[in-house]
Structure 1
Amino acid sequence: MFFLILLLIVIGQRLVELRIAKRNEHWMLKSGAKEYGQNHYHLMVLMHIGFFICLILEYLFRKPVLNKFWPVFLFIFVVAQIARIWVIKSLGKYWNTKIIVLPGIHVVKKGPFQYVKHPNYIIVTIELFVIPMIFNLYITAVLFFILNQIILRIRIPIEEKALRENTDYTKQFD
């Protein structure tokens, strides 16, 4: 039951986030923003959908018990969710799941962006590992940790290049 509840919470959260991202995307594109990285975005979406499918299948086939450290993993997950909200609030109307950049703006240098360049990617990496680990779903944890790192090796350079070319990113972060 705990698995189902957590799964529904995470899926519900993702659907809300997609709605926020779509609203922000519409505003940004209407305001003259440019989208980058369209070639890999579908791979990222497939990876995230695949994560939920693999999570469910591994749970159903392996019938695992809770990890003995599940409270620690759950705590890390909750902290990651608080950090995710902090990221979304800090970026405001500029937060998106796509790489969409409005030329001429100043990059956000508040909230978690005061401390790290890509806090949302750190949060997603943590989530993709700790959610399955709560339930001893090692295959999903390791597989999607690795797949996420592959996607980020493609995505982050594209995002940073777009930000350098269109904003004061170099001045703020390099």
Structure 2
Amino acid sequence: MTDAGLTVFPFWLLMLMPLMTAERLLEVVVARRNTRWAMARGGVEFGRGHYPVMVVLHVAFLAGIVVEIAVTSRSFVPALTWTALAMVVLANLVRLWCVRALGPQWNTRVIIVPGLPLITHGPYRWLRHPNYVIVMTEGIALPLVYGAWTTALLFTVANAALLAVRLRAENSALRLATGQ
């Protein structure tokens, strides 16, 4: 399809954004349920101060993609779009694997339940923080599905700064949980 000489995005591809938003909202529901589960078992939250910043950053990320799509006239570049879309799908499959591996211990917050062993199966067999690799991948790939490279760049830089804080909080929590 073309519009004034530009190749435009297939309409169905625009449905990805509402799907990604719905996924994030579902994650919030699961995280709240898991927070109640953890707190009922004596869970302790770490790094509470950065959590509101993380929420704002992730909402701004999704909104930034939509705004960049609306205000720019980026062409549909099939090779970039399909590669980025494949990365988004793969990242989300691995995210589901992480959620499944952690079970009720999965959360968007850093909460440690004293006495529970570290999860060392699923993707945690190979990486200590696989979900953060997923977030970084998706932070680049999802905007690039639409050619929204400005959002990809801004989110990646802001997310790297946030992850530095979050990883310190999570690693401290894990050290305390394992007695190291």
Tell me the TM-score normalised to structure 2 length.
Answer: 0.90
Residue 77 of structure 1 corresponds to which residue in structure 2?
Answer: 88
Q: CA deviation at 1:2?
A: 3.4
Q: How many residues align?
A: 169
Alpha-carbon distance in structure 1 between the residues aligned to 2:13 and 2:84: 13
Residue type at the aligned position of 1:143: L
Alpha-carbon distance in structure 2 between the residues aligned to 1:2 and 1:44: 29
**Identical positions, percent:** 32
User: What stretches of structure 1 of length at least 5 have no aligned partner?
Assistant: none
Alpha-carbon distance in structure 2 between the residues aligned to 1:3 and 1:61: 17
Does residue 15 (structure 1) correspond to residue 25 (structure 2)? The answer is yes
Residue 88 of structure 1 corresponds to which residue in structure 2?
Answer: 99
Residue 61 of structure 2 corresponds to which residue in structure 1?
Answer: 51
Alpha-carbon distance in structure 2 between the residues aligned to 1:105 and 1:122: 24
Tell me the TM-score normalised to structure 1 length.
Answer: 0.93
Residue 37 of structure 2 corresponds to which residue in structure 1?
Answer: 27
Does residue 122 (structure 1) correspond to residue 133 (structure 2)? The answer is yes
Q: What's the Cα RMSD here?
A: 1.1
Residue 148 of structure 2 corresponds to which residue in structure 1?
Answer: 137
Determine which of 52, 65, 80 is the counterpart of 1:42.
52
Alpha-carbon distance in structure 1 between the residues aligned to 2:152 and 2:78: 16
Q: CA deviation at 1:117?
A: 0.7
Structure 1 SS opposite 2:45 = strand
Structure 2 SS opposite 1:140 = helix
Structure 1 SS opposite 2:78 = coil
Residue type at the aligned position of 1:74: L
Alpha-carbon distance in structure 2 between the residues aligned to 1:51 and 1:128: 8
Residue 166 of structure 2 corresponds to which residue in structure 1?
Answer: 155
Q: CA deviation at 1:130?
A: 0.4
Q: CA deviation at 1:3?
A: 4.4
Q: CA deviation at 1:166?
A: 1.9
Determine which of 104, 116, 119 is the counterpart of 1:105.
116
Q: CA deviation at 1:68?
A: 3.1
Alpha-carbon distance in structure 1 between the residues aligned to 2:13 and 2:66: 9
Compared CA separation, residues 3 and 51, structure 1 to 2 (3 A):
farther
